[in-house]
Structure formats: C-alpha cells, structure tokens
Amino acid sequence: MKNTIFEDLFVLELANNHWGNIERGKKIITDFSRIIRFNNVRTAIKLQFRDVDTFVHEDFKGRDDIRYINKTLQTKMSYDDYTVLTEAIKKSGAITISTPFDEVSVDVCVNLGIDIIKIASSDINDWVLIEKIAKTRKPAIFSTGGSSLKDIDDIVKFFDNRNIPLAINHCVSLYPSEKYELELNQIDFLKNRYPGHIIGFSTHERNEDIESAMLIAYAKGARTFERHVDIEYDDDKEMSPYCSAPSDIDRWMKAYQKAKELCGSSGELKRIPPKREIEYLNDLVRGVYARHNLKKGDVLTDEDVYLAIPLQKGQISCRELMNGEVLLKPVKKDAPIKIDDIDSPYAYNESLRKKICERGL
C-alpha cells in the first residue's frame, strides 16, 4: 500500500551515531536543515537508537578489539540526548525517523513521537524486533542490503497483512559502495514485484559524481532516497568516505530536481511549473531588511528585521532567514541584509552563494 509520507522523501542519517557527541549531532541537524530549506525538498533526519546496556552482552563490554562493539560503546547516548536531538529535528522542520536496534529503543521511538521507523538491513529477519515495531503502527522503511528474496517477501507480507505503510529501499550494504556495485536495476525488480509500495534507493557510494546514480534511480522509479551525512567538526573524527557533507547533499538534491525536470510530470503527480513561471513568482519573494540600525556581532531576531519587496542582488530572502544569525558588519536601518553581512552556511557554499548573488534587482 502506498503512503504519501514516503513519496519524494529524502532521508539523511547522522552517520556513526554522530560519534556520540550531542553537540556535533545538533550542528549536523542545523547545517543540513539549511540545505533542506534551500532546496525545498521533503526530508527526514534519521537517528539511531540503541539501549547499549542490554544491546551488548556483559562479557564483551570491555572488548575494544571488536570494531562494531567498540563503536557502539563509544557512541552511547542517553534518553535525554535522544530527546534533545529529536526536538532539534522537529524544530528544524524536518520529519523525524529513527532506526531502533532493540525493543527498548522501539519504545523510545514511541515516547519521543518519531514519525517513521527504519528497519536496518541487518534486522530484516529479526522477528522479535519487527513484531515490536509493527505494534507501534508507525510507517516503516526497510533496506534490502544482503537479504534473500524470501526475507523481503516475508517482511512485505507481514506489514501488508497488518495494513501498515511500508517503503522498500534498494540497498547495497558495502561501505563505501563502488559505482559498479550499485545494482540500480534492482529498483526495476522491486517495483515489479511489490507494485503497491514506494521503492527507494539507499546508497553508500562515494561522493564523486553522486548525481549520476540519482538521475538513474529517479528515472527507474525510486521515490525515497537515503544517505549518511556528516560534517567536518572540531575533533579528531574524520568523515567516512560514504558520508556526505552539506555541499554534497546540495548537489544530490539538485540532481533530484534535474531528474524530475527531465522525466516530467505524470498523471499521479502535480506538474512541474516552467522556469519562466517560477521566475515570475520569484520576483514577488520578499527580501530581509534592517528594522533599525544593527551593530556588528548582533544576533538577529524577529524584532531586528522586516520583510519587503523588492529582493535585491546578494540579499537574503524570507526563504533563508533564520533567527540566530550573527552580523559580521553593521547594517543601517532599512538597508538590505546581504549574504556577506551574516555568518551563514549559505556564504560558504559556492553554488548557494552564487544563486543568491545573481538573483533579484
């Protein structure tokens, strides 16, 4: 059964449980929420929940020679931490999604009001966990990495019999996956075998030329897309090669928009407005102006700015305005607040900055 919550949905997973650092996790959410808003796509930000105290056997908790166990212990989070991150995702405007790896964590999903539950490829035949997830009645997505056909048939039938919305992600569980390992024709297979379900593409490929796989996946009918995301942070943790930075996700989302443009609309979807129609409406977008004289270092609030037309070149618009931006230079009353006037991630992303500087009067 199809469910609109999965249609054209991006899922951005905080990689490696954001290394167990809640401040890193909050910054990932903030940085990527801006990319989401700028590209105007429906996006869920995904967390991982584990009850580490019971997830790892007592006899193995001191073992640092088993990579997965060691990482699980190092990235342990508390219920309060999960609460903070979930609220940050909700505040950003994104949809909440989590992968619970045990039954206690399913209860955490319910208690925190998580919108969608993701079933990891490793858990596709963990029926104790799957039955617990199904009891929540929440929409679910599962990935097919490393699975057998019977595994997929069984879990699809299980959710169908309970009338629970389910999306199916084609996935290759290799980290990173090479281009020749992506097996995109599996999207065709899944669409043909499970016609009542949204089929997605969960990818762990490197960031070089991620646009190509997106174009092909969309053309084949994938309608939900998932990647691991991370940021360069002030610590000793390097980004994994299968993780995407904000600039990579910006390219990825733009490739999705290009794929939609190339494929055109269908009888099941709203048409895509032509470019000149969008440009006409963009002329009516309001720019951000200073309500009074502002000093360098001021933190912008609603009381400091107002919105009005016209939008001028280099000026931030109502689409990019977020409370908490810090001024890098003074701005006089009624003057436009421009991209170079504030400390914003938009200023450090060349494609976003170029678009802002070229639009408007």
Indicate if 132 and 168 belong to the same structural domain: yes
Instruction: Tell me, yes or no, whether 222 and 184 share the same domain.
Output: yes
Give mean pLDDT, residues 346-359: 85
Do 313 and 247 have their domain in common? no
Q: Are residues 95 and 200 in the same domain?
A: yes
> Does 177 share its domain with 109?
yes
Is 271 within the bounds of a domain? Answer: no
In this prediction, residue 267 carries a pLDDT of: 59
pLDDT at 1: 44
* Shared domain check, 327 and 195: no
Domain annotation covers residue 196: yes
- Say if residue 200 is in the same domain as residue 93: yes
In a domain, 268, yes or no: no
Considering the domain boundaries, does residue 270 fall inside one? no
Instruction: Report the predicted TM-score, pTM, of the whole model to 2 decimal places.
Output: 0.80
CATH number at residue 304: 3.90.1210.10
CATH number at residue 219: 3.20.20.70
- Domain membership of residue 67 (yes or no) is yes
269 is a domain residue: no
Mean pLDDT of 310-325: 89
d(CA 106, CA 87): 17
Q: What is the pLDDT of residue 191?
A: 96
In terms of domains, do 341 and 296 share one?
yes
Q: Are 325 and 239 contained in the same domain?
A: no
173 shares a domain with 84 = yes
State the pLDDT at residue 19. Answer: 75
What is the structure's pLDDT at 15? Answer: 72
More confident call, 361 vs 211: 211
Mean pLDDT in residue range 243-268: 91
The CA–CA distances, whole Å, from 302 to 120, 308, 321, 331 equal 41, 14, 10, 15
The reply to whether 93 falls in a domain is yes
* 134 neighbors 164 (Cβ within 8 angstroms): yes
pLDDT value for 71: 74
pLDDT at 17 over 70: no
Q: What is the pLDDT of residues 206-245, one digit of tens each?
A: 999 999 999 999 999 999 999 999 998 877 778 889 999 9
Q: Which domain holds residue 346?
A: 279-358
Classify residue 152: in a domain, yes or no. Answer: yes
Looking at the structure of the chain, the number of domains it has is 2
pLDDT for res 2: 53
Whether 56 and 72 have beta carbons less than 8 Å apart is answered as yes
Query: Position 93: which residue type?
Result: G
The answer on 103 and 30 residing in a single domain is yes
Q: pLDDT of 99-156, one tens digit each? A: 999 999 999 999 999 999 999 888 999 999 999 999 999 999 999 998 999 999 999 9
User: Do 60 and 166 sit in the same domain of this protein?
Assistant: yes
Q: How confident is the model at residue 197 (pLDDT cuts 50, 70, 90)?
A: very high
pLDDT in tens, 67-83: 777 777 677 889 999 99
Note whether 22 and 75 are within 8 A (CB).
no
pLDDT reading at 180 higher than 90: yes
Q: Residue 93, by phi and psi: left (phi above 0), alpha (psi -120 to 50) or beta?
A: left
Backbone Cα Rg of the chain? 22
- Per-residue model confidence (pLDDT) at position 16: 66
